[in-house]
Structure 1
Amino acid sequence: MARRRREISIRTQITWLSSGLVLLSIIIGGIFLVENFSSQLEKELGSKALSIARTLAQLEEIQEAVGKPGGWEVIQPLAEKTRLATNVEYIVVLDMDKIRYSHPLQDRIGTKFSGGDEDPAFAEHEYTSPAEGVLGPSIRAFVPIMANEGTKQVGVIVVGILTPTVSKLVHGMRFQLYLSLLAGLVVGVIGSMVLARNIKRAMFNMEPGEIARLLEERVAVFQSIGEGIIAIDRNNKITIINDEARRIVGIYEDVVGKDVGVVIPNTRLPEVSETGAAEYQQEMIINKINILANRIPIKVKTGIVGAVATFQDKTEVREMAEELTGVKKFIEALRVQNHEHLNKLHTIAGLIQLKKYQQVLDYVFAVTEEQQEITGFITKNFTDYSIAGLLLGKYNRAKELKIELDIDKTSKLTTLPRGLDSGAMVVILGNLLENAMDAVEGLEKSRRTIKLHISEDHPGVKIRVKDQGRGIAPEDKGNIFTTGFSTKGTKRGYGLALVKKYVDAVDGSIKLEAQLDFGTQVEIFLPWHG
């Protein structure tokens, strides 16, 4: 297994980055400083060499001796004396033929000068020129020797001064440089640590990765909540609005950053943000929809920074409650039973008006016998009145829809599994039978049959509901017991999800066999001691 790479904390990253920037800045600044110092030093040495050369060029002894046989005997002592006094590397006096009349090395006197940069000096120009010699880099000053009160050039004076290299300058300034680097680094590290600590504190001591993950989790949570959520800041600008809120209020464009009063009037969020008083379970109408809303101020360190509202469509809440509690199914069962009794009374009244008294008696006995048979069977084999009433109601409901509900004669349920009450069993049986009736309703008579079998043995209770209805598409099988999934339209998909919840609560199992257009069979097992 690959070892997970250890993440570097934001405090360490900021400290290293800031310290590195400070160190880099000091080094770059030091380089520029040394280069600038070297350039200024060369200019100063060049000016010094030029001044010395000008002074020597004005001496009459040199003007008269240069170019004359034996003139070096006069010029050499003057040049050497000046060289030693001014601490320059060399002073060379040349005649117009570039012959040396002075030089620190005696054997070079009388030889020809060949520096390569001396030609302008023989055209009465004075200047400085860098050169690279045996002893290292130098700066040379060239000054023409003008005789006869400056009207005739008789030679050139060359003064050379060695210039220090950058490495020599750095070596000479190493103590100051090291001290500057150390001081800058200490200041940079301390400043970086203080900055990193303040930034980390402002981020609630969280790393950037943790903040990003928290933001993603927050967005996912907001979108998964079945309620609408809208939040505003202290300036009444919308900061959060999830998809459910957009659906309820009918807003699908991007409204984050806009004034909530302009986008959704009458939310009362600005008032809650201003007063700091929360409001719970308040009914209001938004976009012609009656909603139930909670409005709460958002507080950070005792200061109010905004407000958030959570709300639901009240109609949807009521419909969901009716579906989950089974109220609608019981009401439907009572309505069916009442309708069936009225039909029977109308039949009896018609036969009496026709004076078919024997047929009246036969009809009454037949109806009574059938009702007593199914009622007796259910009340005998199902001791819980809620379950018995549900089965009787579903039986009558199936008859009205021209559906045959075949309850196996061996079915019985006298004891409920541990962990499930009668209400949970009503939800399980009611949803299974209701879905089966929906699947066969409207089909040909041969397919409008539902078989129900309930048995209780040693391991637990087994419930099997089988129909010959429309079946389930293969791609939908995995979602049948998912909350909110339904093939019958919106605002459905909670019944079977609740069934699975009750079955899972007692460690039961659900087996689903279904094929599109060939019916469905659901088998549920509920252990006695779940």
Structure 2
Amino acid sequence: MKLKQLNLWLRLTFLVFVALMLTLSFSYFQINKQLIHNSREKQEQDLLKIGHLLSKNPIIVNSLEEQTSNASLLETTHHAEEAFNLDFVVVMTMDKIRLSHPDHEKIYKQFQGGDEKKAIKYGVESVSTASGTLGESLRGFVPVFNNHKKEIGVISIGLTTNKLSEHLNKMRKSFSISLFISLAVSIIASIFTAYTIKKQMHDLEPNEIAVLLEERNAMFENVHDSIIVTDSNNKITLANNSGKLLLKKLAHTDSPYFHTIDSLIPNLQSHTQIPDYRSNSDELLHQNGVDYLISTAPIVVRKKNVGKIFIIRDMTELISLHDQLQNTTTYATSLQAQSHDFLNKLHVIYGLTDLKAYDQLTKYLEKILEPEQEFSSRMVYLVKNPLIAGFLIGERSRFVEKQLPFMVEIYPDIPATTIQDSVQIWISMIKYIHSHILKINGSADTQVRVGYLQYHLETSYSFLIDGLETEKLKKQLNSNYLKNALLQSNSTIHYEKRSEWFILNIKTPYETTKENK
């Protein structure tokens, strides 16, 4: 019985040994091949990265614009060669004249190799192997552009093939030693542990478990939305990268683990209570001026609730796009209504004039010039930016619903712009301010002026307000949300209290289109 067991053990050992030898030999060949490919690819990427870094160096750019070599240029290229272990860094003009070279006698001479044509002729980066004055080498070519986006030269960075071969041999040698050591250890370890480990892993192979784990981690970490996992006591046990950034933003902590989620994110208590482990919930949360959609779901193991998962999405951009679409639709509707209504008004005016019914004409003109009637017309004619015009028209509707007047003076006229980022931030700031103005008791007399002056969009508010409401408004104007918006748009805000009037002024940089300059 023992002999049979020993023979079986030997046969299994022999089969495992042969399989490992074949597998490792094939793997060694493939890995060695892949190693060479990856090393070459990494060297190419590194050369291009270094080239991009050097192409922005002001010394190199100035030398190429002047088409002269100087000590600063040679010192810069020499430092780059030493810092990145390069064989050469050659700066050449569009005529292929070298301005730098490890051999100073080669300066002001034609570049050799012929593989620089893509960078010079088409202005694109390239990597190739060619022979030059230093012998055969791996060379990267990166075009250099001036401030006017015009190509003024090319940087060639390279390593000789001898240095690359030495590097590969070192890597191959260390890899071969590790391979043979792994082979010996694998033969011994696989015989004694394979059966036991496989049973403990529920007949799953280690690579299968690794793939499942990597897939899970990849999906978890690369999801754009913030994902936070808590245990049954609402303590955070896991968070992806977006979730950590969100918690750092809201709670100002780099170590969110083992803290309860409702202690880090205020106003979240209602989301942490799930009475039924089968229930999910989706709710909106407004925090620091940002709207979040929170999807909460329980984590159930064997019909027992062991925790919760929170998926938090930033809805600010989506809501902003929705508001922009709504404002643009309002603007387009106003334009359509005016185009249909304009000729009708002209006919009525012409008829009343022809009939010499001047009293009726006066009443008719007063009617069509009432603020409620002519507000949209003024926005269309005085504001050339559809986003701003549509926004102001939409905001008027908000104030009318609260039975508050909202008359806007546009002076000077607001021209159009092709850069809408600052406009969108401006809209967010004004909407934020309006939301707090609407909450103020006794803010019926509100005067608003918007205009384009000295390359800025100036927005001024004047309204009656008492002392208590003044302090509340000042607190809101000092919020982090408004400070971040002002910082992103390079805007400035100034406010003061004059008797019972509160004066608020916002200046936002506003770049107009070429037609308006």
Q: Same fold (TM over 0.5)?
A: no
TM-score (norm 1): 0.30
TM-score (norm 2): 0.31
Highest relative contact order (Cα 8 Å, sep 6+), 1 or 2?
1
